[in-house]
Structure 1
Amino acid sequence: MGGGTERDRRRRGGRVRGRQGEARRTTARSRRGAAGRLGLAAALGLGTVLTGQPAQAAGQDTAHAYAFAEDARRVEGAGSTADAVELEPGRTYRSTLPPDGKVYYRLELDDTGTAYASATAVPPSGAGVSVADGVQVTVEDADGRSCDTDTTTFGAPGSPHPVAAWAMREISPRRSLCAEAGTYYVTVERAAPDARGASPDPWELELSTVSEPGTRTPDGTAAPEVWDSATPAPVQGTARRRAGGAGFARAAPLGEGVWRDDIRPGQTLFYQVPVDWGRQLHATAELGSSGTDASGYVASALTLDLYNPVRGHVEDLSVGYGGGQKSKALKPLPPVAYENRHASGQQVSAVRFAGAYYLVAHLSPEVAEEFGDGPVPLTLRVGLGGAAQDGPEYAGGTVPSDVFTVDGGGGGAAPGEDGSAGDETLYRALAAGGIGTGSALVVGLGVWTVVARRRAAALPE
Structure 2
Amino acid sequence: MRGRHTATGHQDPPHRTVEEAREMTIRAPYRTIAALGGALLVMLLPGPEAAAAGEEAVREPVQEQVQEPVLQGEEITGGSNPGDAVALSSGTQYLDEFTTGTLHYRIPREVAHSTLHVGITTLGQSGDGDQVRVEMGTWEGDLCASDTISSSASGFLDHLRTTHVAAGPPLDGGADGTCGSSEEIVLTIELNADPEDAVSVGQPLEILVYEEPRPVRLGELPPPDEGFDHDWRDIGRDVSGALEVEPGRSFGMAPELEPGSTYEVTIRPGETQIFRVPVDWGERLQAEAFFPEPDEQRADRLAGMGSVSLAVTNPLRALVDHDSGTLSTSSATQNRVNPGPVRWFNREFSYTMLAGDHYLVVTADEHDASESLSLLYRLTLDTFGEAGDGAPAYPDDYEGAWPTFSGGEVTADGPGTGALTRISALGDSTAVVAVLAVVGLLLIGSGSIVLVRVIRDPRPLPDGAGPVPWQGPAPQGPAPQGPAPQGPAPQGQQVYGAGPYGQPPSSPSRYGQRPDDHGPPAGGAAPEPPPWGPGPERR
Query: TM-score, normalised to structure 2's length?
Result: 0.56
1:253–1:271 contact (8 Å) kept in structure 2: yes
**Which residue does 1:163 correspond to in 2?**
161
Distance in 2 separating the partners of 1:278 and 1:134: 34
The counterpart of 1:319, out of the listed 325, 338, 350, is 325
1:214 deviates by: 1.4
1:312 deviates by: 2.4
Between 1:134-143 and 1:300-309, the stretch displaced more is 134-143
**Which residue does 1:35 correspond to in 2?**
none
1:359 deviates by: 1.0
5+ residue gaps, structure 1, are 1-38, 46-60, 406-428, 436-440, 453-461
1:216 deviates by: 2.3
Distance in 2 separating the partners of 1:240 and 1:83: 50
Gap change, CA 1:371 and 1:442, over 3 Å in 2: closer
1:328 deviates by: 2.1
What amino acid sits opposite 2:136 in the alignment?
V
Gap change, CA 1:202 and 1:144, over 3 Å in 2: farther
Gap change, CA 1:396 and 1:91, over 3 Å in 2: farther
Gap change, CA 1:157 and 1:389, over 3 Å in 2: closer
**Which residue does 1:12 correspond to in 2?**
none
**Which residue does 2:340 correspond to in 1?**
334
| 1:187 partner SS | strand
What amino acid sits opposite 2:439 in the alignment?
L
What amino acid sits opposite 1:162 in the alignment?
L
Distance in 2 separating the partners of 1:104 and 1:173: 27
Distance in 2 separating the partners of 1:292 and 1:229: 32
Distance in 1 separating the partners of 2:204 and 2:83: 23
The counterpart of 1:266, out of the listed 267, 270, 289, is 270
Map 1:94-105; keep pairs closer than 5 Å. 94-98=95-99, 100-105=100-105
Distance in 2 separating the partners of 1:399 and 1:246: 30
Distance in 2 separating the partners of 1:186 and 1:114: 14
What amino acid sits opposite 1:254 in the alignment?
L
Map 1:70-89; keep pairs closer than 5 Å. 72-89=73-90
1:133 deviates by: 4.6
1:401 deviates by: 5.7
Distance in 1 separating the partners of 2:282 and 2:394: 17
What amino acid sits opposite 2:137 in the alignment?
E
Give CA-to-partner distance per residue, 1:184-238, whole Å, 9 cap, x none.
2212234x6469x973552111211111111222346842465563122353212
Distance in 2 separating the partners of 1:374 and 1:198: 34
Distance in 1 separating the partners of 2:200 and 2:352: 35
Gap change, CA 1:194 and 1:358, over 3 Å in 2: farther
Give CA-to-partner distance per residue, 1:267-301, whole Å, 9 cap, x none.
11110111122211111223345525235344x51
| 1:252 partner SS | coil
2:80–2:102 contact (8 Å) kept in structure 1: yes
Gap change, CA 1:63 and 1:400, over 3 Å in 2: farther
Distance in 2 separating the partners of 1:170 and 1:314: 21
Distance in 2 separating the partners of 1:302 and 1:193: 29
Distance in 2 separating the partners of 1:279 and 1:168: 22
1:276–1:336 contact (8 Å) kept in structure 2: yes
**Which residue does 1:217 correspond to in 2?**
217
Give the RMSD, CA atoms, in angstroms: 3.9
**Which residue does 2:247 correspond to in 1?**
244
Distance in 2 separating the partners of 1:104 and 1:314: 27
The counterpart of 1:275, out of the listed 273, 279, 285, is 279
**Which residue does 1:355 correspond to in 2?**
356
1:253 deviates by: 1.0
The alignment-based identity, stated in percent, is 22
Give CA-to-partner distance per residue, 1:59-86, whole Å, 9 cap, x none.
xx963344444xx321112222221101
- Highest Rg: 1 or 2? 2
1:395 deviates by: 0.8
1:122–1:205 contact (8 Å) kept in structure 2: yes
The counterpart of 2:288, out of the listed 277, 284, 288, is 284
**Which residue does 1:447 correspond to in 2?**
441
2:74–2:95 contact (8 Å) kept in structure 1: yes
2:119–2:207 contact (8 Å) kept in structure 1: yes
2:273–2:362 contact (8 Å) kept in structure 1: yes
5+ residue gaps, structure 2, are 1-36, 44-63, 406-422, 430-434, 447-539
What amino acid sits opposite 1:314 in the alignment?
V
**Which residue does 1:184 correspond to in 2?**
185
Gap change, CA 1:146 and 1:64, over 3 Å in 2: farther
Distance in 1 separating the partners of 2:373 and 2:157: 18
2:314–2:320 contact (8 Å) kept in structure 1: yes
Gap change, CA 1:162 and 1:448, over 3 Å in 2: farther
2:136–2:186 contact (8 Å) kept in structure 1: yes
Gap change, CA 1:161 and 1:225, over 3 Å in 2: closer
| 1:293 partner SS | helix
**Which residue does 1:63 correspond to in 2?**
66
Between 1:168-177 and 1:110-119, the stretch displaced more is 168-177
1:128–1:198 contact (8 Å) kept in structure 2: no
**Which residue does 1:172 correspond to in 2?**
170
Distance in 1 separating the partners of 2:340 and 2:126: 37
2:145–2:165 contact (8 Å) kept in structure 1: yes
| 1:445 partner SS | helix
What amino acid sits opposite 1:294 in the alignment?
R
1:356 deviates by: 0.7
1:73–1:93 contact (8 Å) kept in structure 2: yes
Higher strand fraction: Structure 1 or Structure 2?
1
1:91–1:209 contact (8 Å) kept in structure 2: yes
Distance in 2 separating the partners of 1:152 and 1:234: 33
1:157–1:364 contact (8 Å) kept in structure 2: no
1:247 deviates by: 0.4
Gap change, CA 1:251 and 1:314, over 3 Å in 2: same
Distance in 2 separating the partners of 1:134 and 1:288: 37
Distance in 2 separating the partners of 1:129 and 1:396: 50
Give CA-to-partner distance per residue, 1:415-443, whole Å, 9 cap, x none.
xxxxxxxxxxxxxx99x89x9xxxxx997
